[in-house]
Amino acid sequence: MYELKIRYDWCKSCGYCIASCPRKVLEFGDELNARGVHPVVAAHPEQCNGCRTCVVMCPDVVIEVYKNGTD
């Protein structure tokens, strides 16, 4: 129901969102982004409850949160 739109190339891999997500939705991705680091990915998007804790912690507005689709 909740979808995350992630700007992978903006992510600096600080880890704040991953550490603070209460539903363990987020993880470091396996691929490297354009910055040469592992960006956050929504590994378990179905667990997301739209609490926006990831958004609160992110210094770079990497994550946007949508309900019922991201268009």
Partner 1 sequence: MSEAVYQMPESLKHVVTHYCAGCGHGIVQRLIGEIVDELGIRERTVGIAPVGCAVLGYDYFNFDVSEAAHGRTPAVATGMKRARPDLIVFSYQGDGDLAAIGTAEIIHAGNRGENITVIFVNNGVYGMTGGQMAPTTLVGQVTKTTPRGRMVEDVGAPLKVPEMLAVCDRTAFLARCALNSPKHIRDAKRALKKAFQYQVDGKGFSLVEFLSPCPTYWGVEPLEALKWIDEKVLPEYPLGVMKDAPAQAEGA
Smallest distance, partner 1 to C-beta of residue 27, A: 14
**Backbone phi, then psi, for 40, in 5-degree steps?**
-70, 145
Smallest distance, partner 1 to C-beta of residue 3, A: 8
Candidate list 24, 32, 37, 43; residue touching partner 1; CB under 8 A? 37
Is 28 an interacting residue with respect to partner 1 (CB under 8 A)?
no
Measuring CA to CA, which residue among 29, 18, 31, 28 is closest to residue 58?
Answer: 18
Is 16 an interacting residue with respect to partner 1 (CB under 8 A)?
yes
Dist CA 56 CA 48 (whole Å)? 15
Measuring CA to CA, which residue among 21, 69, 66, 71 is closest to residue 47?
Answer: 21
Smallest distance, partner 1 to C-beta of residue 61, A: 5
User: Coil, strand, or helix at residue 65?
Assistant: strand
The residues that touch partner 1, with contacts defined as CB under 8 A, are 2, 7, 9-10, 12-16, 19-20, 37, 50, 52-53, 55-61, 63-71
